[in-house]
Structure 1
């Protein structure tokens, strides 16, 4: 149980009222996708998601995306709906990963791949560069520094990759690589979300 809570992303509040995520725009606009009830799961809210995808509007079409700590798949399926060429989803919890696969099949997202795996273990392999990376790890587990290092060390980022990071506001300024430049930043409640653009080191 401890391992699962450490690695499952999108931590959902205890007063959760809905068992689904909604696709806001694009090919599958309005579709509601079931979410497996995993302890600690928190889908990115519609308000935050709409802001994020407005930020990504110029970068998303035909982009190859990596979603770490996928959780509910809220960001992955939104990206696919809006024209991403492919999304790779990483989720450690078996039931959550099975639900992601069911949702992928249900909407016919053939350009997505679900991996039931630990995101950090996956990143320790030699990588293939991605255009967009979504990073929304479970809060207060201090996972971000290792994620940043592994993305850079193992060739997971395209030269001008765009990186979205959602983290607890209390962390303050993030210690990202020097050649990651923050373009956007907003906060909602206790969450801070940021968009970085990478320049080739």
Structure 2
């Protein structure tokens, strides 16, 4: 393995224990295994055959975990071409066919999106304030199916987030520096 990469594992499903390569980039912060395990325990009943959107995909670990647990498809949105190259290698290694990687700014893409999703992952770089903007674009552009779930991971220092009024917390938890939550649309 190259020095500018590291690995993380898929924690359950058909690719349980498989390692995926991620670039060793300071701004890239894959979801920690303990958080990922809690998240997927929460959403397990909703994953089967769900269509997923992984905004700010980065390593793609959330979308790949969903596919491993039988999501029907995942669209990965990522603007960094170097990260995309490694994500493509991981997808090829796992022989995944039901996915698409789009090199784009997630917020601009959401504005043009016409598809609806069962599950959306929102985990932007922590040093940005993108959560408020993208969540409102998702709501305005009607990207959610009935009974959809939205996962949001954020730095605990980010206190200025406003979400659409009809999104309610389904589950939430905190670690030392991170708050992670599942929302439902009422």
- Shared fold (TM-score, shorter chain, > 0.5): yes
- 2:139 is aligned, of 148, 152, 160, to 152
- 1:93 is aligned, of 52, 67, 80, to 80
Give the RMSD, CA atoms, in angstroms: 1.5
Q: TM-score, normalised by structure 1?
A: 0.87
Distance apart, 1:173 and its partner CA: 7.7
Paired residues of 1:64 and 1:87 also in contact (CA < 8 A): yes
Distance apart, 1:18 and its partner CA: 7.2
Q: TM-score, normalised by structure 2?
A: 0.93
Q: Which position in structure 2 is the counterpart of 1:187? A: 174
Q: Does 1:105 align with 2:92?
A: yes
Q: Which position in structure 1 is the counterpart of 2:118? A: 131
Paired residues of 1:126 and 1:155 also in contact (CA < 8 A): no
- 1:68 is aligned, of 23, 31, 55, to 55
- The CA deviation string for residues 66-123 of structure 1, in whole angstroms up to 9 with x for no partner, is 0000001110110000010000001110010111111111101101111111111111
Paired residues of 2:5 and 2:24 also in contact (CA < 8 A): no
Q: Secondary structure at the match of 1:134?
A: strand
TM superposition outliers: structure 1 runs of 4+ over 3 Å: none
Alignment of 1:114-125 (within 5 A): 114-125=101-112
Q: Which position in structure 2 is the counterpart of 1:24? A: 11
Q: Which position in structure 2 is the counterpart of 1:8? A: none
- The CA deviation string for residues 2-39 of structure 1, in whole angstroms up to 9 with x for no partner, is xxxxxxxxxxxxxxx97012000000000001112333
Unaligned runs of 5+ in 2: none
Distance apart, 1:127 and its partner CA: 2.3
